[in-house]
Structure 1
Amino acid sequence: WSECYDDIEEGDLPEHKRSPPPVDFSKVDASKPEELLKMSKKGRTLMVFATVSGNPTEKETEEITGLWQGSLFNANYDIQRFVVGSNRVIFMLRDGSLAWEVKDFLVAQERCVDVTVEGQVFPGKAAKKDNAKNKQQNEVNAKKKSKKKAESKNPDLEGNSASHLKQEL
């Protein structure tokens, strides 16, 4: 098979066979590792994962993320979308260097819980709302537990003692 690739031009090779574009480290700001990632992903396909808030059906997820994809398409981003669960979607970018701009757009959306790019999870706008709800729920649960502890000061020790008789097996 490798002999077949000898006659094919660089641009026509499958992505995994192409040589990566050269990275000019003189243009990279060492204090911003995201810039290095952008440059290293230029021209490479990259997947961006997003989670939709609430408990949407797959059809709702399809509709919501379709709006996101349309907005990104109108902003000239070459992006494909694949719904992979009732609240999970993959956006595929042909140019991975644009992934962080897409991430910035997605995390600003009302129904976006989180976005994952290159293994890094970025909380979305909906995550902040969910965190506030979870915090309130945790406070309510803590109050209920402390109330139960106050009610049951006398522990029930029945059935907690070891048997005095030794049984042979």
Structure 2
Amino acid sequence: MKSLIVCLIVVTLSVTLVVSKKYEKDKKPAWAKKDIRDFDDADLERLFDQWEEDEEPLPADELPEHLRPPSETKSFPFDKVGSLSPDEIMKMTKKGKSVMMFINVDGAPTRDQTDTLTSLWQSALRNNHIQAERYVIEDNRAIFMFNDGSQAWDAKEFLLEQEGLLSITLEGQTHNGRKVKGPVPEKDQKKEL
């Protein structure tokens, strides 16, 4: 029995050594001749690309957003553009794309107060099936990140009605909160076109 196991191991190692792909020293690219400890980022990227050559390509829904093919099944309805509002057009064009919304909180809250308030808004949005990631970036400022950009405009309408919201900036347009208690600072006022 022991001799059978030893023979099996020897045969397996022999097959592995014979079948494995090896470069001859003179055929290796220059970056592959270096010691692994001397590799820089570009060399590691080439090595990673070489490993991935044998892999199956990722499905379209698992690719990063910038590498996804445009959806061919949904074409933009140009015949309805005249009857749609600008918000409805933006919802249609941003469907499936990431969108960031910048939120300014009214007053002079602390970072913890901003975190608590935006957390409540995020929970309310999730209860309404709107998925948003929340990042507090300053004492009175936060970012909501929507993986499906079409949800950002529904969230905007909800958030504008909330107490404590000073303004929202979405796709370069600033919208003032509807329940602001004091005057809106000039830098946060809605820009007229």
What TM-score do you get using the length of structure 2 for normalisation?
A: 0.61
| Map of 1:86 onto structure 2 | 139
In the TM superposition, residue 24 of structure 1 has moved relative to its aligned partner by 2.3
Question: In the aligned structure 2, how far is the partner of 1:57 from the partner of 1:34?
Answer: 32
For 1:65-80, what aligned pairs fall within 5 Å after superposition? Answer: 65-80=118-133
Displacement of 1:26 after TM fit?
4.3
Deviation of the 1:77 alpha carbon: 1.1
- How far off is 1:19 after superposition? 2.2
Please report the RMSD computed on the Cα atoms of aligned residues, expressed in angstroms: 2.2
The change in CA–CA distance for 1:14 and 1:7 in structure 2 (over 3 A counts) is same
C-alpha contact (below 8 Å) 1:28/1:36 kept by paired residues: no
- 1:95 corresponds in structure 2 to 148
Bigger-Rg structure (1/2): 2
Q: What is the CA deviation profile of residues 20-60 of structure 1, one whole-angstrom value per residue up to 9, with x for unaligned ones?
A: 33432246432522222111100111111111001001000
- CA displacement, residues 114-151 of structure 1 (integer Å, 9 cap, x when unaligned): 01110110110344x3228x8xxxxxxxxxxxxxxxxx
Hey, what's the Cα distance between the residues in 1 that align with 2:123 and 2:116?
10
For 1:19 and 1:28, locate their aligned partners in 2 and report how far apart those are by CA, in whole Å: 25
Question: What percent identity do the matched residue pairs reach?
Answer: 39
**CA offset at residue 9 of structure 1?**
1.9
Partner of 1:16: 66
Separation in 1 of the partners of 2:99 and 2:161?
Answer: 20
Q: Secondary structure at the match of 2:157?
A: helix
Tell me whether 1:131 sits opposite 2:192 in the alignment. no
1:55 is matched with 108
Instruction: Could you tell me which runs of 5 or more consecutive residues in structure 2 were left unpaired when the two chains were aligned.
Output: 1-48, 186-193
Letter aligned with residue 81 of structure 2? D
TM-score scaled by structure 1? Answer: 0.69
Q: Are the structure 2 counterparts of residues 95 and 54 from structure 1 closer, same or farther at C-alpha, using a change threshold of 3 Å? A: same
Distance between the aligned counterparts of 2:137 and 2:178, measured in 1?
21
Q: Does 1:25 align with 2:62?
A: no
- Asked if the contact 1:114–1:121 (Cα under 8 Å) also holds between the matched residues in 2, the reply is yes
Structure 1: tracts of 5 or more residues without a match: 135-169
Secondary structure of the structure 2 residue equivalent to 1:84: strand
Give the number of aligned pairs.
Answer: 131
> Which one has more relative contact order, counting CA pairs under 8 Å at least 6 apart?
1
Taking the aligned partners of 1:12 and 1:19, their CA distance within structure 2 comes to 11
Q: Which amino acid letter does the alignment assign opposite residue 163 of structure 2?
A: E
Task: Find the aligned partners of 1:101 and 1:18 in 2 and give their Cα distance.
Answer: 25
